[in-house]
Structure 1
């Protein structure tokens, strides 16, 4: 699941992006409003974390232009401002939620999960394949009634396959969905995570399997 973080303070951007990646999200980072708007309009994101006081184009205008372009992506505003008029203006510009700095990282991630649930756009809240259930918003996976413990990247790969259960998903699409745009590693990293998932699904006696589709990618089937 891919997020966009638009934040011009390098230390905060680095800290937030590292934390969100550790949660299993792919995170793209933009350091100014114009770059953030361009990325938001050209790439599909599950949610955007947007600072208000940005160079070149402020967060209010970024959000406003997104909505004018009929882009429904959930937007969480981050700001050092905390007045009621600032909150009202952010919401009037089309933001979905508002968090004042300094903020709790636990609260930030909880609000992001809530936005992603609400902004699913008709997608199922839970993905089910055999006795495997994947809850993308809660980042939780179960086999029957037992929780399947996965790393963030393992969860992302399994979610990507579960969203297209029964279909062959190319390695490149898995990489795009789970790793952010800054990734410059080997495409075969996907194979490592597929092998880990197969082992964990087998250990859990899950009623589903990940098949290799030669020359194309992988398919999750019951």
Structure 2
């Protein structure tokens, strides 16, 4: 019992000391230093938002191109309506499966989306590749290549986003005791979930 009381006293003493030290660190920062931290913080925030927006814009374009490619194949009158209708349902399913900047933390959701994307994209590409050359219009060729390029860019977009997320999260952890002063929005400040690719990519570079 005495040991429990003693440990409790030590814990509260440590907490009080830590709080006092953190207040001292905040008091030691000048307004110029806070301005510099705000510049870095909002710069990281903007970079993070922009990298996500660019990644989603490319994914939106790919989904649009998948639908456009199906429309072009339909105009070529090469495959039956039932087959093309099934492809359209697959594209719609893919749209419903897509993650957002919060659900990206769910690795199972990412895996499900990626698997569905591979099936849909590869199926449509295979349909194009199986068409006779004279049935493939220039638009079909362009759309096919754009879809392939978008799928090849997914990993790079995610690595870039992970790097910004990592930098942002490190900043939040380092200055968590003064974030209420750095962030002037008044809203909650939270770490960003990641694809968790950045460390693997760096290992390959070494």
Structure with the higher fraction of residues in helix conformation? 2
Question: TM-score with structure 1 length normalisation?
Answer: 0.25
User: Whose relative contact order is higher, 1 or 2, with alpha carbons under 8 Å and at least 6 apart?
Assistant: 2
More strand by share: 1
Q: Structure 2 length normalisation: TM-score?
A: 0.27
